Chain A
Amino acid sequence: MVTIPLVRTLLPSLVRAAAPLFALAVPFSSGACKGSDPNGASGTNAAPASGAQGIVIDGSSTVFPITEAVAEEFKATNPARVTIGVSGTGGGFKKFCSKETAISGASRPIKQAEIDACAKSGVEYVELPVAFDGIAVVVHPSNTAVEHLTTAELKSMWEPAAQKKILKWNQVREGWADKELHLFGAGVDSGTYDYFTEAVVGKEHSSRGDFTSSEDDNVLVKGVSGDTGALAFFGFAYYAENKAKLKAVPVDDGKDDNGKGAILPSPETIADGSYAPLSRPIFLYVNKAELERAPVAAFAKFYVENARKLAAEVGYIALPENVSALTKQRLADKKAGSMYGGKGSKVGASLADLLSGKGS
């Protein structure tokens, strides 16, 4: 153990000694792209995680494409360094609450345990919805019998009690084929899984275990498109890009006030909430103290101002105009805390109501 302090003091100085070599090497390699890296020459970014001049972002892979698009556009207006990692919603919050990152993407609201972790380390945050994402329920295109599903039927397939019991389609609804039911779903560490189980089973992070799960939705697309007995749930964008290979199943939540009967997922039905309960907002969490730093404040402002346009461009559904305005106001007010109070997604709640404080 004696050696560790020694190494700790020795290695950074070695690293610093080697830094000039890098300064020499960089102009060579970046010579091809003009005007890049305006504050790279300083070479003083020794602070590892929360680089004083940078904007450190991590979190959900679902939110990543929007954040990437925003960072790309932001780069043209501001020289600040932006770094984005993809640790997932939960992994992102871990880093966010230990002050490693300034901003975290999340495909579900912050949980109570994460709220506690943030409170413990004194991290206050501003919660900003940035777009809607739908969760599509899909089957093989040849599966014509399944023309719609009710949420009760989805629950009977996915709840923990269904494990090793509901194995055939005709067990879900009488009249359907006497054929094996093969379930595919988003990985259990994803916010998508958390939301789906909350909305369908009624309890977050709770489902049967005997289904094929993958963190990579493209794997699920391949799985369903090659299996006539399959049913899967995953992000709407993956359905939208593979419509020829998949059949989306309209979902009936049994409530008529938010769209009567079974509703097919589409940008319209997801945005207006009629594709309930499988339409959900995705979020950005910004460390309130970091908002005092000009680059972070500028980035967050730029994000909420451009989220509608850019979210649609990368395959998500833009927030309605009025919700977007409320989001901008929330950031301007630096309103701390979560609209959800750590109690999980409020399935079916209107974002506009939540943002204007009517929902809680």
Chain B
Amino acid sequence: MLTSTRRRLLRERLFVGLCASAVVIPLLVLALLVGHVALAGLGRIDWAFLSGYPSRRAATAGILPAMVGSLYMIAITAALALPVGVGAAIFLEEYGARSRLAAIIEVNIANLAGVPSIIYGMLGLGVFVRLMGFGRTLIAGAATMALLVLPVVIVSSREALRTVPYAMREACFGLGATKWQAIRQVVLPMAAPGILTGTILAVARAIGETAPLVVIGALAYVTFLPTSPTSQFTALPMQILNWVSRPQEAFVVNAAAGIVVLLITMLVLNLAAILLRNRLQKRVY
């Protein structure tokens, strides 16, 4: 009896240990990566780096056009992906949940979320750059990125809508509200924090995507900042890619600094998502 109890306890401890290492190992690898990049690049980041234009001299090169390009691009991406994504989620969740078509669409959306980003790049090149005649512009890049993040936005928005108890809707109907009134005045406000968090996290992913940008032909060097959605543009991942492949060591340091800026931008976006959620949650309840 005693030995079997001891064995069971040992197994318990072994399992806890395994679970703990599953947490610690990825964190360690992540810390190593971030630490390695930060060590190489952090010293390079100053105001001149953030506000300067690219240069052949690694020491005076800056990332302003790339940074502004990236920020504009994700702003437009969010503006495109949010309404379409939420609209699709509302339709699937509130109106078409039980239809066969909805089930097929649902499976497809889940699959689309796993499609490699370079495929979206090719789609963007074919549809937005060529067919719609946008050229290699910000709007074409942003529309491609919006397609890329859309499945995630739809899935997370549906999850958020699902967390609103059905009783809330029934209460609305009991008061004579139409379905749309119930959605607009009760369900959407309650689901908004979840929807926004999902959207921001999805869009934050888009800021680091390189493959679609390479495919649609974002530029490597521009001497100006984008002034409208139809401007040509470059983005941070393109600038980093360009620097990484240069022979001079100093450019690789610049690339590391660019990566640090990209990481910080992503962290800020994710932080914004959390803060927004907390704020909105307080307002609703």
Q: Do A and B come from one complex?
A: yes
Chain A residues proximal to chain B, CB less than 8 Å: 4, 7-8, 11-12, 15, 18-19, 22-23, 25-26, 29-30, 32-33, 36-37, 40-41, 43, 45-49, 51, 54, 61, 64-65, 67-69, 71-72, 75, 81-87, 215-218, 235, 237-238, 240-242, 310, 313-315
Q: Are B225 and A48 in contact (CB under 8 A)?
A: no
A-B contact pairs, 30 of them (CB 8 A): A8-B132, A15-B139, A15-B229, A22-B228, A26-B225, A26-B226, A29-B225, A32-B50, A33-B51, A40-B225, A43-B227, A46-B230, A48-B134, A49-B135, A61-B245, A67-B221, A71-B221, A81-B224, A83-B219, A83-B221, A83-B232, A84-B221, A85-B136, A86-B220, A218-B245, A218-B247, A237-B247, A242-B247, A313-B56, A315-B248
> Please, how many angstroms separate the alpha-carbon atoms of A54 and B231 in the complex?
11
Chain A-chain B contacts (Cβ-Cβ < 8 Å), number? 138
Most A C-beta atoms less than 10 A away, residue of B135, B137, B227, B245: B227
Q: Nearest CB to that of B238 among chain A residues?
A: A86
Q: Are A216 and B244 in contact (CB under 8 A)?
A: yes
Q: Are A68 and B72 in contact (CB under 8 A)?
A: no
Q: How far is the CB of A295 from chain B (nearest CB, A)?
A: 12
B 237-250 to A, binary, CB cutoff 8 A, 1 in contact else 0 = 00000101111110
Other-chain contact of A15, B53, B223, B230 (Cβ < 8 Å): B230
Residues of B44-74 at the interface with A, using a CB-CB cut-off of 8 Å, are 47, 50-56, 64, 68, 71-72
Other-chain contact of A18, B47, B50, B229, B248 (Cβ < 8 Å): B229
Q: Are A33 and B52 in contact (CB under 8 A)?
A: yes
Q: Kindly list chain B residues whose C-beta atoms are within 8 Å of the C-beta of A33.
A: 51-53, 64
Residues of B204-240 at the interface with A, using a CB-CB cut-off of 8 Å, are 217-232
Q: Are A8 and B248 in contact (CB under 8 A)?
A: no
Q: Are B247 and A68 in contact (CB under 8 A)?
A: no
Whether, in the assembled complex, B131 has its beta carbon less than 8 Å from a beta carbon of chain A, the answer is: yes
Q: Are A37 and B225 in contact (CB under 8 A)?
A: yes
Residues of B26-56 at the interface with A, using a CB-CB cut-off of 8 Å, are 47, 50-56
Q: Are A41 and B227 in contact (CB under 8 A)?
A: yes
Q: Are B230 and A40 in contact (CB under 8 A)?
A: no
